[in-house]
Structure 1
Amino acid sequence: MTEFRLAAAAALAMALTLAAAPAAHAADGGGPLKFSLGGGVTSGGDNLVAGSGAEMDAGRGLQLFAGAEYWVAEPLALQVNLGLQLDRRKAAGGTLRFQRFPLELMGLFAVTNNLRFGAGAQFVFGAKLHGSGDASALDQNYRHATGRVLEGEFLINPHSAVKLRFVKENFTPASDGAPKIKGDHVGLMFTHYF
């Protein structure tokens, strides 16, 4: 099963679960469905351009995301996020940009009204390294990747939260014979729920 089919099957399973679940209430007493916007910084991963004299880590960058969360039954919630993860660096005589689009499906468990832990899957699409100027020879496309996510979230108030997360993933270059690159990273995120 390709990663795209796996992501589609996971999204369908989540939609069916949400449709069949009884209405629950979020920790703030509001309705069971909430939307979110967020972003943060990530760090980690192997150097995508090892041996070139440049440095571009596979897990480093800025991440922005939008999503939805549904409280199935207290203390359990399901969350889906679609994001953009991007890093841009100067290289000798040019620039490097690594971008990808992560889709995350998460299950969350509320320990208290302010503390939650989550785990889930991350499906990465459109991973691409782009070089300009003298770094244009470093261009590389990567196959779709599937990773795992663990996170802890502290809700500052019912609408604002800070997350610390760990993502384990590998990137496989689209060109045959190239080695896998570890994209494992940690991230510090801020999320606004509405």
Structure 2
Amino acid sequence: MKKQLLALALSCAFVGAAHADNNQPNPVHFMAGIGLSVGGQTINTVQYTDGSSSNISSGTGGIIHAGLDWRISESFSSQLTVGYQFRETPAASNGDARFTRIPVDLLFYYHPDQKWRLGLGAEYVVSPKVSGSGEASYVSEDFKNALGAIVEVEYFFSPQISMKVRGVKENYKPQDGGPSIDGSHAAIIGDYYF
């Protein structure tokens, strides 16, 4: 066991030394971002005791994500992220509701220059569901995992900071059958590359 650990440590040292001698920048970077999306179809409406209401939309809400970005060449790159997308109704004393899902995105980009990149990819949505509590528990519904398409434009303010605008086309099918819900949306996301 000690010999294996020593061999592993030496291998890491040699790889690190070889990388240090190579003046090429690391092509793989960790990244994280936050954003907002709008669109989709109204899944349900929550009624409040004061007479007001709030819609739960399949495409509107907040987005947080993190993943890896790989610069394949000067003109091409790819990105894999896992995120959390959510829409919550305003909290009330008698209940609230939310639509949540976990998007896994894979994108391929073309870089016309160092500031811009254009991307196409796929989004696989895991565990999309509406959950309600209290008086809003009637809105709870589970959907099947979904596959969608992404088109995206990203602008880099610096090598670490970017802003992207994307369009996503996807549909959610209820677990119990019934008509599909259009989850297509547009989003604006700010990313930081480490």
TM-score of the aligned structures, taking structure 2 as reference length:
0.81
Deviation at 1:91, TM superposition (A): 7.9
Matches within 5 A, 1:161-176: 161-176=162-177
1:49-84 per-position Cα deviation (integer Å, ceiling 9, x unaligned): 169764111001110000101112220001100000
Is 1:155 the counterpart of 2:156? The answer is: yes
Once residues 181 and 31 of structure 1 are traced to their aligned partners in structure 2, the CA distance between those partners, rounded to angstroms, is 42
Which of residues 30, 35, 44 in structure 1 aligns to 2:30? 35
- Secondary structure at the aligned position of 1:90 is classed as coil
Identity of aligned residues (%): 31
SS state of the match for residue 26, structure 2? Answer: coil
Contact 2:46 2:136 in 1 (8 A): no
> TM-score, normalised to structure 1's length?
0.81
1:78: which partner in 2? 78
For structure 2, list consecutive stretches of 5 or more residues without a partner in the other structure.
1-23, 48-52
Equivalences for 1:1-80 in 2 at 5 Å? Answer: 30-49=25-44, 54-80=54-80
Which whole-Å CA distance do the structure 1 matches of 2:54 and 2:160 have between them? 40
Is 1:188 equivalent to 2:176 in the alignment? no
Give deviations 1:160-182, integer Å, cap 9, x for gaps.
00000100010111112x21000
Q: C-alpha separation between the residues in 2 aligned to 1:30 and 1:189?
A: 25
- Residue 104 of structure 1 corresponds to 105
Instruction: Give the number of aligned pairs.
Output: 165
Q: Which moved more, 1:45-54 or 1:62-71?
A: 45-54
- Once the two structures are TM-superposed, the CA of residue 111 in structure 1 deviates from its matched residue by 1.0
Provide closer, same or farther for how the CA distance between residues 54 and 91 of structure 1 changes in structure 2, counting only shifts above 3 A: farther
Q: CA RMSD in A?
A: 1.7
Secondary structure, in 3 states, of the residue corresponding to 1:55? Answer: strand
Deviations 1:81-130 (A, max 9, x none): 00000110038842111100000010011111001110100000011100
Decide which moves more: 163-172 or 87-96. 87-96
What does the per-residue CA deviation read over 1:17-56, in whole Å, with 9 as the maximum and x for residues that have no partner?
Answer: xxxxxxxxxxxx7211111010100010000116976411
Describe the SS at the equivalent of 2:176: coil
1:115 and 2:116 equivalent? yes
Task: Provide the C-alpha distance between the structure 2 equivalents of 1:139 and 1:33, rounded to a whole number of angstroms.
Answer: 40
